[in-house]
Amino acid sequence: MFRFLKQPYPLRLDAEYDLKNAFLISLFVFLFLLVFQPFGLSTIEPELKYLLIIGFSGVCFLFLLINLLIIPKILKNVFNEGNWTVLKRIMWCLWIVFTIGIGNYLFTWLFDAIFDFYRLGFDLFIFIQLITLLIAVFPITVYTILSQIYLLRENLKAAEEISAKLRNSELSPGDMPGQDQKVILVSENRREKCEFHARDLLFISSEGNYVEIFLKNEKIKSVLLRNSLRRIEEQLENYPFFFRCHRAYIVNIKKIIKATGNAQGFKLTLKEIDQKIPVARRYTKEFKKTAGIS
């Protein structure tokens, strides 16, 4: 079991995606409290009841934003996709539940201070937190395990399809135009540039405000440019065999020799270089289409 908990699990750090999820979860909490009115809400006078419902929903939204948008930026070493596992995913979800419970306690404390109405002692707070975590651990664990199994199966299948195309020398349709053309990539301030033939590009990686361009002619070399991967991607839009496969990688499809998969997606092995290039889940469908698999 512990070996399974150490298996890779996808980590999606996307502000727009997280903001949408935080809103939808908070909306669900609002509707749930409004319709079912648990915890004695149905016995409270309407003005205070609706204020409580709005407050608990707002607390949920606020603490989701803190956890999903702020903490990963502070703890970058912890929230590393390469090291993210099933166990970390479960613990992360339970932490979010715990912090929302803390937020709800602080809100009820403030509510009581203003209205002298909704009393919640610290002993009851501890009891509610323990019960909440015990209830939450089962569905969170089951969902995480089932999704890991599903993603692993799907990505292994995709990796095998790619490898089959490679064995038959059919990866990507025919000889894509432009492989002999000269490519010029420029820095953000346009003072620096990198020139190379399209066929020589292996992949491009991004780190912070810089991109690193890996080329292979007589030997492998890399060139560093100050620019974002998104702007580099725009400069390469006329070359269909260069594909954005990850938030931090652009790969030359013509250089792929092997694919392996796990729950986080699948990874590509390129000619004459040991580094594995990840294909993120969000790019899988488009990658398969570009590579002529689907």
pLDDT digits (tens, 9 = 90+) for 234-251: 999 888 889 999 889 999
Express each pLDDT in 24-78 by its tens digit.
999 999 998 899 888 778 888 888 889 989 999 999 999 999 999 999 999 988 9
Query: Residue 265 is inside which H or E element, if any?
Result: strand 265-270
pLDDT of residue 173: 43
At residue 72, the pLDDT reads 94
Q: Which of 9-23, 37-51, 139-153 has the lowest mean pLDDT?
A: 37-51
Asked, for residue 161, whether it belongs to a domain, the answer is no
Q: Percent of the chain having pLDDT more than 70?
A: 93
Q: Which tokens go with 180? A: 């002999």
Stretch 266-285: mean pLDDT, rounded?
Answer: 85
**Model confidence over 123-143: pLDDT tens digits?**
777 877 887 788 788 889 999
Tell me the C-alpha distance between 26 and 254, whole Å: 45
Same domain, 104 and 179: no
Decide if 128 is inside a domain: no
How far apart are the C-alpha atoms of 76 and 68, rounded to whole Å?
12
Q: Flag whether 134 is in a domain.
A: no
User: 249 and 258 in contact (C-beta within 8 Å)?
Assistant: no
On the question of pLDDT at 174 being above 80, the answer is: no
175 and 283 both lie in a single domain: yes
How many independent structural domains does the chain possess? Answer: 2
Name the pLDDT band for 169 (thresholds 50, 70, 90): low
pLDDT > 60? residue 171: no
- 257, part of any domain: yes
Both 197 and 275 in one domain: the answer is yes
The Cα diameter of the chain in Å comes to: 79
Whether 218 maps to a domain, the answer reads yes
Regarding beta strands 201-207 and 210-216, do their DSSP bridges make them parallel or antiparallel, or are they unpaired?
A: antiparallel
Domain that holds residue 24: 2-120
What pLDDT was estimated at residue 281? 78
Domain-ending residue, one of 101, 120, 139 = 120
How many C-beta neighbours within 10 Å does residue 20 have? 11
Domain termination site, one of 58, 88, 120: 120
What DSSP character marks residue 275? P
Condensed to tens digits (0 to 9), the pLDDT of residues 85-97 reads 999 999 999 999 9
Beta strand segments in 49-199, E = 182-186, 193-197
Read off the CATH number of the domain in which 240 is found: 2.40.50.1020
Alpha-carbon separation of residue 197 from 184, 200, 201, 219 (angstroms): 9, 5, 7, 14
Q: Domain check: are 102 and 14 in the same one?
A: yes
Last residue of a domain, one of 102, 120, 138: 120
In this structure, are 108 and 182 located in the same domain?
A: no
Asked whether residue 176 falls in the same domain as residue 284, the answer is yes
Whether 125 maps to a domain, the answer reads no
Res 152 pLDDT > 60:
yes
In a domain, 150, yes or no: no
116 and 184 share one domain = no
**Residue 137, in any domain of the structure:** no
Mean pLDDT across 155-181:
69
Same domain, 286 and 175: yes
Pair (205, 105) in one structural domain: no
- 180 and 76, same domain (yes or no): no
One-letter amino acid at 150 equals Y
Point out the least confidently predicted range of 62-71, 102-111, 161-170, 278-287.
161-170
Which amino acid is residue 209, in one-letter code? N
287 contact partners, CB below 8 Å, separation of at least 6: 243, 245, 279
- Could you tell me if 175 and 116 lie in one domain? no
For residues 167 and 53, give the distance between their C-alpha atoms in angstroms, rounded to a whole number. 59
